[in-house]
């Protein structure tokens, strides 16, 4: 059997990035026929030098666009007016340094500053969510901006991929926008959508969540092996090798396009050698009980989202039942 396509997320400041992408790391990635989705946290010439190293080694590099932390870091409903300028600066930096990209990645997640408010001002965060919930025009404008950005990137000759939480699939099925308007994420159409199913953040239900969403996924992001930003909201303990190997086999059972978060975590835990010797077709036992449980949760979530999207339906149903009841009462009195 042909192993899956592996892409490694890498999200580092310049100093540790230069240290990480050395000859040994480049050879490891080449041996795995892997790609790198590199977080573009700044337009530093030294970061460009790292990209050139990947280009010269023939390793496909994806430009994973990020904003400054004070602007929300990830792309979302709050900072959509800034993303065109960010891409323009990225394109200028790319041309000035002669960089080659296999694609451009858009990371769709809530505003990092709002997530940090969970520890500082829950009331302010709730007010922001309620304000967005009743502002449908903001979501409409944001989607238009993001689709314009996608069209511009594609016109420049790049494939566009997005990194989304898988619950977006349930919102689509419910034909709702509740999650988008409250959390700030935006559902956009791209060439490839990578669902971030990081089981390390959802222990002990991770395998069930992965097994539930994976059959519907175009590409799957698994992790975390360590690294990334830590805002203290979830259990940040990285996957150990047994957990990572379980997730790799589970994800590959349904999908051939796998992303691992992160490259730096894999190197820190000495996973690259294990990956090169990995037995992909090793028998696995699907977590069927967990999958059924998660599928049940998803059904409940979709029902709730549908009701939020169609609030008149339950109200009219209750009114109709009440009217029928009163009518029957009148008939019986006659």
pLDDT digits (tens, 9 = 90+) for 62-121: 999 999 999 999 999 999 999 999 999 999 999 999 999 999 999 999 988 777 766 565
pLDDT, residue 8, reads 98
C-beta separation of 237 from 202 below 8 A? no
Query: What sign for the dihedral angle of Cα 274, 277, 283, 287?
Result: positive
Q: Give the model confidence (pLDDT) of 7-20 as tens digits.
A: 999 999 999 999 99
Mean pLDDT to the nearest integer, 19-44: 98
Question: pLDDT for 231-257, tens place per residue?
Answer: 666 667 999 999 999 999 999 999 999
How would residue 321 be classed by pLDDT, with cut points 50, 70 and 90? very low
At 320 the pLDDT is 44
Task: Give me the pLDDT at residue 172, please.
Answer: 96
Neighbours of 89 (CB within 10 A): 14
* CB of 258 closer than 8 Å to CB of 198: no
Instruction: Name the average pLDDT for the chain.
Output: 90
pLDDT band at residue 3 under the 50/70/90 scheme: confident
Beta strand segments in the chain, E:
5-10, 35-40, 61-65, 103-107, 160-164, 192-196, 219-223, 257-261
Task: Please state the domain extents for the chain.
Answer: 5-333
Contact 213, 197 (CB under 8 A): yes
The number of C-alpha atoms within 13 Å of 41 and in the hemisphere containing its C-beta is 17
Q: What is the distance between the alpha carbons of residues 99 and 293, in angstroms, rounded to a whole number?
A: 46
The answer, yes or no, to whether residue 129 has pLDDT greater than 90, is: no
- How far, in Å, are 1, 31, 198 from residue 164 at the CA level? 29, 28, 11
Cα separation, 209 vs 204, whole angstroms: 10
Which pLDDT does position 235 carry in this prediction? 67
CATH architecture of the domain 5-333 equals Alpha-Beta Barrel (3.20)
Residue with tokens 């451009």: 104
State residue 309's pLDDT score.
80
CA distance 264 to 222: 14
Over the stretch 177-208, which tens digit does the pLDDT of each residue have? 999 998 899 999 999 999 999 999 999 999 99
Strands 5-10 and 219-223: unpaired
Mean pLDDT of 147-175: 97
Predicted confidence band of residue 263 (pLDDT cuts 50, 70, 90): very high
């Amino acid at each position: 059997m042909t192993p899956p396509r592996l892409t490694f997320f890498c999200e580092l400041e310049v100093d540790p990035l230069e240290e990480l992408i050395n000859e040994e790391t480049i050879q490891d990635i080449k041996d795995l026929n892997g790609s790198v989705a590199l977080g573009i946290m700044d337009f530093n010439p030294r970061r460009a030098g790292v990209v050139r190293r990947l280009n010269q080694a023939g390793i496909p590099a994806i430009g994973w666009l990020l904003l400054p932390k004070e602007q929300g870091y990830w792309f979302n409903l709050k900072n959509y007016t800034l993303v065109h300028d960010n891409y323009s600066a990225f394109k200028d930096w790319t041309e000035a340094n002669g960089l080659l990209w296999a694609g451009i990645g858009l990371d769709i997640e809530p505003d990092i500053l709002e997530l940090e408010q969970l520890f500082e001002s829950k009331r302010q965060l709730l007010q922001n969510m309620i304000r967005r919930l009743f502002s449908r025009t903001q979501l409409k404008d944001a989607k238009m901006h993001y689709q314009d950005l996608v069209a511009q990137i594609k016109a420049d000759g790049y494939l566009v991929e997005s990194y989304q939480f898988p619950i977006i699939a349930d919102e689509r099925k419910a034909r709702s926008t509740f999650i988008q308007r409250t959390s700030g994420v935006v559902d956009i159409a791209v060439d490839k959508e990578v669902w971030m199913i990081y089981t390390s953040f959802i222990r002990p239900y991770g395998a069930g969540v992965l097994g539930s969403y994976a059959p519907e996924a175009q590409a799957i992001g698994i992790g975390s092996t360590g690294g990334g930003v830590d805002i203290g909201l979830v259990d940040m303990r990285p996957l150990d090798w047994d957990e990572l190997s379980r997730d790799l086999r589970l994800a590959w059972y349904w999908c051939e396009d796998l992303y691992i978060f992160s490259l730096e975590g894999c190197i820190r835990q000495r996973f690259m050698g294990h990956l090169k010797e990995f037995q992909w077709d090793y028998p696995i036992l699907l977590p069927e009980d967990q999958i059924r449980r998660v599928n049940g949760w998803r059904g409940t979530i979709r029902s709730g989202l549908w009701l939020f999207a169609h609030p008149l339906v339950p109200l009219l149903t209750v009114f109709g039942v009440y009217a029928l009841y009163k009518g029957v009462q009148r008939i019986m009195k006659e």
